[in-house]
Amino acid sequence: MRRLLYVLPVVVFTVLALFFLKGLTLNPREIPSVLINRPVPEMNLAPLPGRGENSGLTTESLKGRVSLVNIYGSWCISCVQEHPVLMEIKRRGDVPIHAVDWRDDPVLGAAWLKKNGDPYERVGVDPPPGRTAVDFGVTGAPESFIVDKAGIIRYKHVGPISMEIWTRTLLPIIRQLEKQ
């Protein structure tokens, strides 16, 4: 009994220290998405000007093929960093990439693609207050979702995709989903 009283503070300290240590190594930006394994939200987004009538993003247009849905905006700084990777993915023909132009002036969104290159198959405009982005649980741009053939969200990546993240993490998931 008496010995327990001496050991207890050490035990309590150790347990708390382990919790805090774990907390320190977590990334507060990585909020687990509750939308994994749920269907993509209902949406019917208008195309960007100059990209053709049928290039807008709808819930139906995401069915039939595994695809990547990328959230971008002409105002988004990290998107500039990510863009060459998306261009490379398009060049390799790994998977169709679609985009939601989030909280953006569609004219600026289109000009941005003209300047930096257009890796997307479909682009839907989501003007403020960004209802579709909120339906996707988006917390910032860029964010990317892997959507399977049935139109179900299978994976979410927060922040810019690097070539390493693409080949190591995202592409294997996509290849796996394509087999299903």
Partner 1 sequence: MRSLGFARDDTWVAAALVALLLLSAPALAVNPDEMLKDPAQEHRARELGKDLRCLVCQNQSIDDSDADLAKDLRVIVRERIAKGDSDEQVKKFVVDRYGDYVLLKPPFRAGTLALWLGPLALFVGALWAVLAFYRRRPAEQAAPPPPPLSAEERRKLDALLKE
Residue 84 burial (C-beta neighbours within 10 Å; 0-12, 13-18, 19+): middle
Identify which of residues 6 and 164 has a Cβ nearer to partner 1 in the complex: 6
Please choose, out of 42-50, 109-117, 122-130, 172-180, the segment that lies near partner 1 by the rule CB under 8 A: 122-130
According to CB under 8 A, which residues from 77 to 106 bind partner 1?
103
Task: Give the nearer residue to partner 1 in terms of CB position, either 56 or 137.
Answer: 137
For the bound state, the minimum distance from the C-beta of residue 129 to partner 1, rounded and expressed in Å, comes to 4
50 contributes a contact to partner 1 by CB under 8 A:
no
b/e code 153-174 from CB counts within 10 Å (16+ = b): bbbbbbbbbeeebbeeebbeeb
Question: By CB under 8 A, is residue 13 in contact with partner 1?
Answer: no
Instruction: Dig out the tokens for 28 from the structure.
Output: 């507060």
Q: In residues, how long is the chain? A: 180
Binding of partner 1 by 135 (CB under 8 A): yes
Q: Pairing mode, if any, of strands 97-102 and 67-72?
A: parallel
129 binds partner 1 (CB under 8 A): yes
Which region, judged by CB under 8 A, interacts with partner 1, from 28-36, 88-96, 106-114, 143-151?
28-36
Spatial separation of the C-alpha atoms in residues 120 and 97, rounded to whole Å: 5
Rule CB under 8 A: is residue 23 a binding residue for partner 1? no
